Amino acid sequence: MKDAQPRAIYLKDYQQPDYWIETTALSFELGEESTLVTSTLNFKLNDTKTHAQLPELTLVGENMELVSVAIDGAVLSGDQYKVDSEQLVLQPQSEAFETYIVTRIKPQENTSLEGLYKSGGMFCTQCEAEGFRKITYYLDRPDVMSIFTTTVIGDKDKYPVLLSNGNAIERKDLDDGRHMVTWNDPFKKPAYLFALVGGNLEFIEDTFTTMSGREVTLRIFVEPHNITKCDHAMRSLKKSMKWDEEVYGREYDLDIFMIVAVDDFNMGAMENKGLNIFNSTCVLARPDNATDAAHERIDAIVAHEYFHNWSGNRVTCRDWFQLSLKEGFTVFRDAEYTADMYSRTVKRIQDVNFLRSAQFVEDAGPMAHPIRPESFIEISNFYTLTVYEKGAEVVRMIHSIVGSEGFRKGSDLYFDRHDGQAVTTEDFVAAMEDANGVDLSQFKRWYSQAGTPVLDVSDSYDEDAQEYSLTIKQSCPATPGQDTKLPFHIPVAIGLLDGEGEPMPLNGEGETTVVLDLKEPEQTFTFKADERPLPSLLRGFSAPVKVNYDYSREDLIFLMSHDEDGFNRWDSCQRLAINVLMELVADIQAGRELAVDPQLLAAYGKVLADESLDLAMIAEMLLLPSETLLAEQMDVIDVDAIHQAREFVRGAIAEAHKERLQQIYNSLNVDKPYQAEPEDIAERRLKNIALSYLVELDDAASVELAQAQFAAASNMTDSIAALSNLIGAVHESGKAVAEQALAEFAEKWADDTNVMNMWFSTQVTDSRFGTLAKVRELMEHPGFDKKNPNKMRSLVSGYCSGNLVNFHNISGESYEFLADEVIRIDALNPQLASRLINPLTRWKRYDEKRRELMLAALKRIQQQDLSKDLFEVVSKSLA
């Protein structure tokens, strides 16, 4: 352990800074040994605070050598400032003054991927949340907004491209083989939005004409070998610029917008002003080397980062507790963009599936926190599914409470009122209230209370009065630091179906879906109804909650084919599958003989035959709930029984519907030019899901199908699906074919690092193929890099989170393996370590033996000299 335990920082302690920074002028001399950073800052006293005398100025800075410091032109001697490993303290002599600070940093040695670092041959930065302090001494906090001018100097051959935020205002060659470029960003911004790139890069270029007629240059910069993989991202960028004008009235504000792809990156991407930096997996795509899922992800992330230009950059966060202000809102914006570009229902299904299988888990675990946390030790640990995805659900609920026109009025007011400011989630909600004349005071509990609320729904029908009543009780489990919760304001969208499956009118206007405002711990809602209806609850997943209602299997099957709400048709299918699967889990645990309820098989038969359903919907309905989602249904998770039950049902579905699955497969297996368009994506998805069922059969013909698809595939979606279906095939002939295909694939794609990442993860997520021994073997593969986050995620997280049976093998070996990797990585890259450890933090949910083993692994980690990041996660999991 470190000598001093890391301390928590509290929202309630927020205070404005004593000084503001009006202008920031930086110069970087990029070098092979070290980089010299010169900063000229103009400070002004914050006169809204009372000061008895001029307060000290404390600038934060880490991992740097202070070369010199001057104030207003006078160089300071060692006794005129204090410096330690975290800060530089100066005593100003006037209310307005200029500092001149020279520091030396070593980007080449920076493995944390925070601050300025090297990825391959290129210099790049990641400053959010607190990375700027690894570049120079500064007021590294989002409420300090400044105008930046940045000069980058570097060797002209090695770093022909030198980029920073804003517009390039000067370029010059120097005598010594170096050149320099100066950039100016006319918009005030916090340091976390600063970016710099220097490297040997090529770019593709396009233009976008904004709604007011300004022409913006768009460039995507990549290493030369990736130049053929940028077109899809460029199309996405133009689509999102247009969408933000149409839906939010937001126009881009600089003359140029740049995206740079880097291979070493902790997260997905970063919205630096005018110079977004992306993890290469989130930009690069060509039909032959990226899947449909990758194409969709790229589209969504390009849009997300672009949308931040308004929701995040023009209006930013006052402090990091407000992170969901920009992230929840921006995720909501990108989800709506995707819904408009592809299928609204399918997007909703995928988002809710993700929320339930991952965010609900987080909300029930040791790191549970409200979307606006009250305290943190390390802010990097709060870039969570809760802040992002649940945060987006909270914004979506506001959208459904005020309606889409009201929401647009609210967002207009918000952007207008706060342009150029650093604000809070309160300000966002206030704009929505003021623009719509609504009271969201109770609703705001969503920002301060953690945990997933539970709705217990019961109903009754009064034959004489012809009245149907729904009684909804809400509750929310305790979370760390919050034993009891106050009732939430929950918008519950519902509909009622009559005996024929027709929607019943619910009010005078004849509406068949209404949103109930649930505000009390228990509330009853009554409707006129001339027969007893079947309720369709939480349509469109109108709130991030769990709903209990005692549906019979017949009810669910009825809803699957009649509910006018597409999301709920899918959800009824999920409920039915969960119901059947959990019964089988109980049978397995009790040693009973297994049989799949014929009703479930018949229901799937109906889905497969339903001509009215679109292909994307059929595909979503055919996917059984994931093992992770099933695990959430159990108090003590039994990974083996879950896996066995799920495999058993998959086999039974394949057996029962073999012919239809083959028919679907054959009808969709047509060779046509690749397009990442919704219909084509749906066709490939359904085809490959059909194949994944067919390989469940002990049947050489299925292996041949997969083999033929692998040989013929002209796009990555079909190629990787064939590969993973060969790996997963039940028939013994699959093994040799899979080995052969894996070898061919690796040879073909050896030089494409992102394709190789899929090759790694596909192998280790299969329960028979992907053993711990396989993981260890692959870590030694020449295409692997033990420091690279993408590679570590594909192999280590792929295995530990995607292969539950093997990871939780009772030997405990995999727990030890993960602990070793976490400890090794923590010394290099704390952010990565504190994410990798995640599967171990859920130890309380397992049986006694596994609990002990996981706990032992956690405690061994705790014994080490830990980063703040890992310290926080480990200590909270052990609390």
Which residues of this chain interact with ligand ARG, rule CB under 6 A?
126, 128-129, 266-267, 269-271, 304-305, 327, 380, 383, 831
Q: Would you tell me the crossing angle of helices 772-779 and 753-764 to the nearest 10 degrees? A: 160
Nearer to Zn ion, 311 or 762 (CB): 311
Least distance from ligand ARG to the Cβ atom of residue 115, Å: 11
706-713 contacts at long range (C-beta below 8 A, 24 or more positions apart): 706/734, 706/737, 707/737, 707/741, 709/669, 710/741, 712/671
Bond preceding residue 195 cis, omega within 30 of 0 = no
Chosen from Zn ion, ligand ARG, none, partner binding at 266 (C-beta under 5 to 8 Å by type): ligand ARG
- Helices and strands, counts by H and E, the chain: 29, 31
Q: Residue type at 194?
A: F
Least distance from Zn ion to the Cβ atom of residue 321, Å: 16
Least distance from ligand ARG to the Cβ atom of residue 388, Å: 7
Specify the stretch interacting with Zn ion by CB under 5 A; choose among 18-26, 323-331, 349-357, 520-528.
323-331
- Cα distances from 860 to residues 4, 359, 437, 819, in angstroms, run 19, 27, 55, 8
Which residue reads 């530990």 in tokens?
A: 800
Residues 6+ apart with CB under 8 A from 782: none
Is 511 labeled as catalytic in the residue annotation? no
Q: What is the token pair recorded at 202?
A: 């090529």
Nearer to ligand ARG, 270 or 737 (CB): 270
Chosen from Zn ion, ligand ARG, none, partner binding at 313 (C-beta under 5 to 8 Å by type): none
Specify the stretch interacting with Zn ion by CB under 5 A; choose among 322-330, 355-363, 735-743, 819-827.
322-330
Least distance from ligand ARG to the Cβ atom of residue 278, Å: 10
Give the helix ranges, DSSP H, for 18-70.
none
Dist CA 338 CA 126 (whole Å): 26
Q: 724 phi and psi, to 5 degrees? A: -75, -30
Dist CA 608 CA 602 (whole Å): 10
**Rg of the chain over CA atoms, in angstroms?**
28
Is there a contact between 616 and 687 (Cβ–Cβ < 8 Å)? no
Nearer to Zn ion, 330 or 831 (CB): 330
Residue 523's DSSP bridge partners are 472
Q: What is the token pair recorded at 779?
A: 């870590």
Least distance from Zn ion to the Cβ atom of residue 304, Å: 6
Q: 116 phi and psi, to 5 degrees? A: -95, 125
Least distance from ligand ARG to the Cβ atom of residue 105, Å: 18
Least distance from ligand ARG to the Cβ atom of residue 265, Å: 9
Nearer to Zn ion, 118 or 326 (CB): 326
Q: Residue type at 599?
A: Q
Nearer to ligand ARG, 97 or 307 (CB): 307
Q: DSSP for 645-680?
A: HHHHHHHHHHHHTHHHHHHHHHHH---------HHH
Q: Which of 533, 544, 537, 530 is nearest to 515 (CA)?
A: 537
Pairing, β 514-518 against β 522-528: unpaired
Least distance from ligand ARG to the Cβ atom of residue 583, Å: 40
Exposure on the CB side of residue 819, measured as CA atoms within 13 A: 20
Residues 6+ apart with CB under 8 A from 848: none
Which residue reads 């079909």 in tokens?
A: 718
Is there a contact between 620 and 605 (Cβ–Cβ < 8 Å)? no
Is there a contact between 203 and 188 (Cβ–Cβ < 8 Å)? no
Burial 737-747, CB ≥16 within 10 A → b, else e: bbeebbeebbe
Nearer to ligand ARG, 129 or 721 (CB): 129
Residues 6+ apart with CB under 8 A from 24: 39, 40, 41, 138, 146, 147, 148, 149, 191
Is there a contact between 137 and 62 (Cβ–Cβ < 8 Å)? no
Q: Among residues 130, 296, 305, 632, which one is catalytic?
A: 305
Least distance from ligand ARG to the Cβ atom of residue 126, Å: 6
Least distance from ligand ARG to the Cβ atom of residue 114, Å: 6
Least distance from ligand ARG to the Cβ atom of residue 410, Å: 22
Chosen from ligand ARG, Zn ion, none, partner binding at 292 (C-beta under 5 to 8 Å by type): none
Is there a contact between 626 and 803 (Cβ–Cβ < 8 Å)? no
Is there a contact between 718 and 689 (Cβ–Cβ < 8 Å)? no
Chosen from ligand ARG, Zn ion, none, partner binding at 270 (C-beta under 5 to 8 Å by type): ligand ARG
Nearer to ligand ARG, 190 or 365 (CB): 190
Residues 6+ apart with CB under 8 A from 280: 222, 226, 261, 262, 263, 265, 753, 754, 790
Least distance from Zn ion to the Cβ atom of residue 659, Å: 47
Residues 6+ apart with CB under 8 A from 800: 807, 814, 818, 836, 839
Site residues (CB under 5 A) for Zn ion? 327, 330
Please list the active-site residues.
Answer: 305
